[in-house]
Homo-oligomer: A and B are copies of this chain.
Amino acid sequence: MKTSLDCMPCVVRQALETARQVSADPAVHEQIIREVLDWVSRIDLEQSPPHMAQQIHRRLREITGNNDPYRPAKEHQNRMALSLVPELRAKIEASPDPLVVAVRLAIAGNVIDMGVNGKISTEQLQASIHRAMTDPFVGDHQGVRQAMTAARRILFLADNAGEIVLDRLLVEALGPDRVTVAVRGAPIINDATLFDAQAAGLVDITAVMDNGSDAPGTLLDDCSDAFKQRFFDSDLIIAKGQGNFETLSDAPYPIIFLFQAKCPVIAEHAQVPLGSHVWTWFQPATFSQKA
């Protein structure tokens, strides 16, 4: 999807929040926000918002000299989610429909999104899980289940740290043998990298690769050849989170999107109410959304 005019003030606000997280120096905050304002004034609205975020966070890392400013936050998020795993795994095992419960929990984990909420607490994560277990889901429930059951080669595009721990439960439910999990190729906000896939224990149960890109989404042109090869060889892509939806929602591939619609622009693009838990399915044959 393209960048909306509404993204522009939001990006400026995010940049200021991030600046304050990565530096304690007000002069650095001012330098960053002035650069971002100037930069956003000239951006190409045809590009997706994650493309914009990629450029801004590259510059933030350059200015602060910190290649992974969210590392402590990501480790905290992984630990927070790991502490809930035994209880959540029991919930899945006790259910007559484990796959659907695992999908719900994976979407619940999408609340851990520092692009939206810089400080997520265990209580907020538990509230998200409670909501995800009870709220109606928006999407093609039956089509998604069929596709997940029938697929032979699944590429699972992870989103954030912490969230990836809950994704592990979905990978287990899908059957790890037919799944490859892809993470970002370099640190960007709190998006999951190989480090987090390892923390989540995913590397012990399935194949994990990085996508070669530092965008907070999946910009195919920016990804490695190895990733693209795996992407096109898969008969089903499961894409977690808003960033992957923003970058792939118009792509003519068999992609199931699982995310919380936390942003009004994305909710409008997905044609769902703000706050929805979404499993949306784009059919390759028609390229039309069935949700």
Contacts and interface: CB of A to CB of B under 8 A. Distances in A.
A8 B29 contact: no
Copies of this subunit: 2
A225 interface: no
A60 to B, nearest CB: 15
Given A13-B9, A16-B5, A30-B5, A40 B37 contact: yes
Chain A contact residues (Cβ within 8 angstroms of B): what range? 20 to 34
Contacts of A37: 8, 12, 37-38, 40-41
Contacts of A9: 9-10, 12-13, 16, 33
Interface in A1-33: 5-6, 8-10, 12-13, 16, 26, 29-30, 33
A16 B12 contact: no
A119 interface: no
A34 B41 contact: yes
Contact of A42 (B12, B26, B34): B34
A265 interface: no
A165 to B, nearest CB: 32
A41 B42 contact: no
A223 interface: no
Contacts of A38: 37-38, 41-42
A40 to B, nearest CB: 5
Candidate in A8, A29, A45 with the most chain B CB atoms within 10 angstroms: A8
